[in-house]
Amino acid sequence: MSVAETTEHAPGYESPLITGEQTFGSISRKIGEITERKTTMTWLLAFGAAGSLALVLLGSIGYLFYEGTGIWGLNVPVAWGWAIVNFVFWVGIGHAGTLISAVLFLFRQRWRTSINRFAESMTLFAVICALVFPGIHVGRVWLVYWIFPLPNQMGMWPNFRSPLLWDVFAVSIYFTCSLMFWYVGLIPDLATLRDRAVTKVRKFVLGLFSFGWRGGNRQWKNYELAYLILAGISTPLVLSVHSVVSTDFATSIIPGWHTTIFPPYFVAGAIFSGFAMVMTLAVISRKLLGLQDFITLNHLEKMNKIMLVTGMMVGYAYSCEFFIAWYSGSIYESFAFINRAFGPYAWAYWIMVTCNVLVPQVFWIKRWRRSIAVMFVASILINVGMWFERFVIVVSLARDFLPSSWDYYKPTFWDVSTLVGSFGLFFTLFLLFARFVPMIAMSEVKGVLPEADPHHGGKP
């Protein structure tokens, strides 16, 4: 850490991707040990906390199934509430992972190697949290399988024109692909752990999951291409997923929803919030697990830059919405946006603007960009802001065309417990991952060491 903290470098000079004089061996050791050493107290405590929150989610869902969606604050006109807000929020979080692992991979951004593993994992867990909501928010959960095109005695098929159906496909496919991407990347590292393993159990389990990987170049050849392809198709996928999610709103006719800017704006927002979440986790775990040499300040700084950019994209989208609302000349649209900023939900709107547009501006300043404290706080604020963005959008329902049907949406205890619970689920999964799976893609990091280059004259 000390090294990185002080590293100042002339423009154009690419500072070392990882610090601390690492060798191939030291990498396998440092990363491997994390999963091998004895379970720490901190981990147990954290896991206990997260786990009990996850149980809160379970309880809330149980009660929901028993009573019906009425336990939430929903009403007509606001027939969608926090469930959908949380869904969109979590899906958004997921995006950073795929972006880092796929898009940056294609752009040959080699610094990604240090963070892509747990960014990907975070994607998986976020998407799992997201997938919970479309499932439970429907009125008759026991029939939710009807949205899949299964032959049945009714002779009925789903309606493929429905954005909600697109969601189901897009998100579940996104999950499957991310899972495969993640696992494929994991195979060589599992092999490494396997080969370090001493106990029989570890030998068996790791052996089993590493598929008997031998790191032969004949395998690497197919492996690399497959990985490249996955990266290649994940890129349009990740861009499409949140675009599709945005169509839930964009294809409707509700003022404030019916907006063509949504797809790009949602994707930008997703990456924005995703990076914020990665940042939060990275800052914590590099400290707790002593990964400062692998996740260096340079990595964090690069992520902060991306947050700054995406944050401003989102800000641009907000202002653009207003302009279009006015320019469209539609009284409903203009009312909807004035209502957002000054109506009953103005408080939510201004929280959103502050957190998403103003907060990231601190990253203009290099010192703050490289300050752990600043970026940690900022990342959390940004996540709050992005949650509120979705909230603001969903509750535009409260005031649409006919004033006679206007109403106000108030969350209930169960809305809150479900949201909190979903965080519990997320962190539970993340802690399990941090305990048992190599946090950093060892084979990839080795690949970016100078010694990895066959033409590197370097010492053995």
Q: Which of positions 80-119 make contact with another protein (CB under 8 A)?
A: 80
Least distance from another protein to the Cβ atom of residue 63, Å: 11
Among positions 87, 182, 272, 335, the unique one binding another protein when judged by CB under 8 A? 335
Nearer to another protein, 247 or 356 (CB): 247
Q: Helix 116-136 and helix 163-196: axis angle, to 10°?
A: 140
Binding mask of the shown chain, residues 377 to 416, with x at each position contacting another protein by CB under 8 A = --------------------x--xxxxxxxxx--------
177 binds another protein (CB under 8 A): yes
Among positions 40, 109, 152, 319, the unique one binding another protein when judged by CB under 8 A? 152
Ranges within 264-293 binding another protein (CB under 8 A): none
Site of tokens 């929903």: 74
Task: Give the range of 67-75, 265-273, 299-307, 376-384 binding another protein by CB under 8 A.
Answer: 67-75
212 binds another protein (CB under 8 A): yes
Q: What is the DSSP letter of 210?
A: T
User: What do you get for the CA distance between the two ends of the chain, in Å?
Assistant: 26
Task: Give the range of 1-9, 78-86, 266-274, 364-372 binding another protein by CB under 8 A.
Answer: 78-86
Asked whether 34 and 438 are in contact (CB, 8 A), the reply is yes
Nearer to another protein, 301 or 451 (CB): 451
- The Cα 180–Cα 442 span in angstroms is 18
The SS3 call for residue 412 is coil
What six digits make up the tokens of 118?
A: 């747990």
For the beta carbon of residue 147, count every other beta carbon within 10 angstroms: 18
Asked whether 403 and 314 are in contact (CB, 8 A), the reply is no
- The Cα 310–Cα 168 span in angstroms is 26
Half-sphere exposure of 206 (CA within 13 A, CB side): 23
Among positions 20, 51, 59, 158, the unique one binding another protein when judged by CB under 8 A? 158
Among positions 92, 188, 256, 263, the unique one binding another protein when judged by CB under 8 A? 188
Among positions 106, 208, 365, 420, the unique one binding another protein when judged by CB under 8 A? 208
Nearer to another protein, 83 or 307 (CB): 83
Residue-wise burial string across 95-134, b where 16 or more C-beta atoms lie within 10 A, e elsewhere = bbbbbbbbbbbeeeeebbbbbbbbbbbbbbbbbbbbbbbb
Closest C-alpha among 127, 134, 129 to residue 166? 134
Least distance from another protein to the Cβ atom of residue 417, Å: 17
Q: What is the DSSP string of 121-161?
A: HHHHHHHHHHHHHHHHSSS-GGGGGGGS----TT-----TT
Nearer to another protein, 8 or 14 (CB): 14
Torsions phi, psi for 402 (to 5 deg): -95, 110
12 binds another protein (CB under 8 A): no
Closest C-alpha among 38, 68, 54 to residue 136? 68
252 binds another protein (CB under 8 A): yes
Least distance from another protein to the Cβ atom of residue 100, Å: 18
Among positions 7, 24, 49, 372, the unique one binding another protein when judged by CB under 8 A? 24
Least distance from another protein to the Cβ atom of residue 443, Å: 5
Residues 6+ apart with CB under 8 A from 384: 351, 355
240 binds another protein (CB under 8 A): yes
222 binds another protein (CB under 8 A): yes
Task: Give the range of 272-280, 354-362, 367-375, 445-453 binding another protein by CB under 8 A.
Answer: 445-453
Nearer to another protein, 43 or 146 (CB): 146
328 binds another protein (CB under 8 A): no
